Amino acid sequence: MKESKNNHSHNSNDISHSHNFSHSGKIPVKYRIKHLWHKIENSFVFMALASFFWLLYKSGTKPSRIVYPCQKAAAASLSTFVILAIISSPLFIYMKKIQTFFAHDSKLSRSLLFITIIAAIFGVFLAIDYYSSMPMNSPVGPGLEGKVLSPSEQVNLGTQSEYATIPAAYDLPSPHRVVTVHDSNSSTWEGEGNPNNYINQTEIDKMVDIGIMELTGTTSPQDGWRKIIPYENGQSVAIKMNFNNNWYFSSSGFYYDDNSNINMLNYAAVVNSVIRGLKSIGVPSDKIWITDPSRPVHDQFRERIEDKGVQYYINQNCGAYIEGRPNVYVTGYVSDSSVYASTSTTYDEKIRPAQVFADATYIINMPQLKGHGYSNVGRVTLGLKNNFGSVHYTANALGDCPAHKAEPFAKLLADINNNSVFRDKTRLIVGDGIMGNPDINYGPPTLWKSFGNKPPETLFFGVDPVATDSVMVDYIRREAGPQATGLVQSYAAALGLGVAESWNDQEKYTYIDYHPIDLDSQM
């Protein structure tokens, strides 16, 4: 009994001692370290296991996905655990000696503990920052997953991507994203007079800024333009216009009078906004080349362009009439033997791009929202058709000759856009739908029922030329009916130039990443 009593007394003292210890706050450092380490160990083990299974699930069958942001974060977490485990392994080996050392000097132990925690946190942030800064140009599949590769990169990496001919898609959220921006304040045109006199430049600037940001997934227009045009000193940007209705020039000048003849031409306000974006990323005026090689550029258009330093390249037959007009030059076409020439699969003739496009580093295609009176282009004339004015006309492709029929001509247009100059250099399509004519290409703009008996007042943005045309076709078809077929888009898609698709009854797509923005609803 005595022994039992002594034991009880001893145990009571221990309990009392422990109780007093906890209230005094003097818990030995070794217990503090052990408790803290237990929490850290449990947290990191859980994170490491979760990260490991996430990586295995998402990247096990497709290692290229390791460059995706979620996978990079998981890799950072897992690697941080491994690094800490390696660093801390000596602590386990010498734990008793370290505990004995800390027990003799509590102040020193607390200081070292604080430094260790700060260093560990700093190391975790360094690891995450390292993995986040890894380049993201590894191959991934086609479609909405993200990036595409150039053909040469595919060969080098032994991979293939169905839509690898969209160079501007490298850093964009989706290679098949098409953005539309509608703003009824962009014009006050009511069906009469020169539309140029009724367009609001400030609103157009805003529409272009918003469209570029939405297309690129950025929060500033300047960052968006940098993603589209990775400009370096000495490079040049050619802007392909649509001056199809401007046929004439004379010794008295390029006398097209758009105050009396309001047939549709690209409007200067939209071009001003594009030039503004290019200059924001450092493209100098003399490296911005405005051109429609099959036509002259009339004086009134140049007068409306705010930057007087940009250059113009016009039809090679206009040489006698450019004297006295600053920054206006003629452009011919590459030869049949040029590396830039290609062969049509339809007419067995050479496709010869204008020299201005062969010399340019990048191309921006600016079609208008127009229908076409002839079925040979699917009754629309948009971005893919716009490049018909970028090449030397072949004999069989001109006029109403027997070969100028729907199917072969549509194939020719697809072949033109598959020429390496246009396929590899075109970085952006900006569809000018501030005005529009859903029926014909050679007439004035009209008021559209589908826009409340107003002009469309819409801009289109994309890097996939087929997808961008497809959306513009749907806008025309909604207004004019099913005769707008999008025939050219089908042949271009068959060549791998992009995605051809028509929207459903809810005006939605499966493969095109369609982002409509209506600024009217945001007021």
Give the pLDDT band (50/70/90) at residue 355. very high
Residue 459 has pLDDT above 60, yes or no: yes
Question: Per the structure block, which two tokens stand in for 62?
Answer: 């497709």
Phi–psi pair at 310, nearest 5 degrees: -70, 160
CA-wise closest residue to 461 among 439, 433, 484, 501: 433
What's the mean pLDDT in 452-481? 95
Residue pair 88/98 in contact by the 8 Å Cβ criterion: no
pLDDT value for 349: 79
Tokens 């390292």 belong to 130
Mapped onto helix, strand or coil, the DSSP state of residue 494 is helix
pLDDT value for 254: 67
Minimum mean pLDDT among 89-93, 103-107, 159-163, 375-379: which range? 159-163
Residue 90 has pLDDT above 60, yes or no: no
Higher per-residue pLDDT: 241 or 349 = 241
Question: Per the structure block, which two tokens stand in for 64?
Answer: 């290229």
Residue 4 has pLDDT above 90, yes or no: no
Residue 18 has pLDDT above 50, yes or no: no
Residue 442 has pLDDT above 50, yes or no: yes
Element (H, E) at 156: helix 151-157
Q: What's the CA gap between 428 and 364, in Å, rounded?
A: 5
Residue pair 314/291 in contact by the 8 Å Cβ criterion: yes
Give the pLDDT band (50/70/90) at residue 504. very high
Q: What's the CA gap between 240 and 288, in Å, rounded?
A: 11
Element (H, E) at 493: helix 487-494
Q: In the beta sheet, which residues pair with residue 299? A: none
Q: What's the CA gap between 403 and 384, in Å, rounded?
A: 19
276-304: pLDDT as tens digits: 999 999 999 999 999 999 888 888 899 99
Mapped onto helix, strand or coil, the DSSP state of residue 391 is strand
Give the pLDDT band (50/70/90) at residue 29. low
CA-wise closest residue to 396 among 339, 351, 329, 443: 351
- State the burial class of residue 337 (Cβ atoms within 10 Å of its Cβ: 0-12, 13-18, 19+): exposed
CA-wise closest residue to 307 among 267, 356, 360, 269: 269
Residue 309 has pLDDT above 90, yes or no: yes
- Average per-residue pLDDT for the chain: 77
pLDDT value for 415: 92
Higher per-residue pLDDT: 157 or 518 = 518
pLDDT value for 380: 83
pLDDT value for 450: 96
Strands 350-351 and 380-381: unpaired
What's the mean pLDDT in 265-271? 94
pLDDT value for 75: 53
Higher per-residue pLDDT: 347 or 327 = 327
CA-wise closest residue to 495 among 164, 222, 7: 164
Give the pLDDT band (50/70/90) at residue 67. very low
- Residues of 154-177 as b/e, b for ≥16 C-beta within 10 angstroms? eeeeeeebebbbbbbbbbbbbbbb
Residue 325 has pLDDT above 90, yes or no: no
* Terminal alpha carbon distance of the chain: 90
Give the pLDDT band (50/70/90) at residue 261. confident
Radius of gyration of the chain (CA): 33
pLDDT value for 317: 86
What's the mean pLDDT in 55-78? 44
pTM of the predicted model as reported, rounded to 2 decimal places: 0.70
- State the burial class of residue 17 (Cβ atoms within 10 Å of its Cβ: 0-12, 13-18, 19+): exposed
pLDDT value for 455: 97
pLDDT value for 409: 82
Q: Which residues fall within 8 angstroms of residue 421, CB to CB, at 6 or more apart?
A: 340, 353, 357, 358, 363
- State the burial class of residue 273 (Cβ atoms within 10 Å of its Cβ: 0-12, 13-18, 19+): buried
pLDDT value for 148: 41
Q: What's the CA gap between 121 and 279, in Å, rounded?
A: 42
Q: What's the CA gap between 314 and 471, in Å, rounded?
A: 30
Q: What's the CA gap between 230 and 148, in Å, rounded?
A: 16
What's the mean pLDDT in 312-339? 90
Mapped onto helix, strand or coil, the DSSP state of residue 514 is strand
CA-wise closest residue to 380 among 519, 304, 290, 487: 487
pLDDT value for 95: 53
Side-chain half-sphere CA neighbours of 473 within 13 A: 27
Higher per-residue pLDDT: 390 or 123 = 390
Residue 273 has pLDDT above 80, yes or no: yes
Question: DSSP string spanning 4-29?
Answer: HHHHHHHHHHHHHHHHHHHHHT---H
394-435: pLDDT as tens digits: 655 555 544 456 788 888 899 999 999 999 999 999 999 999
Q: How many CB atoms lie within 10 A of CB 39?
A: 9
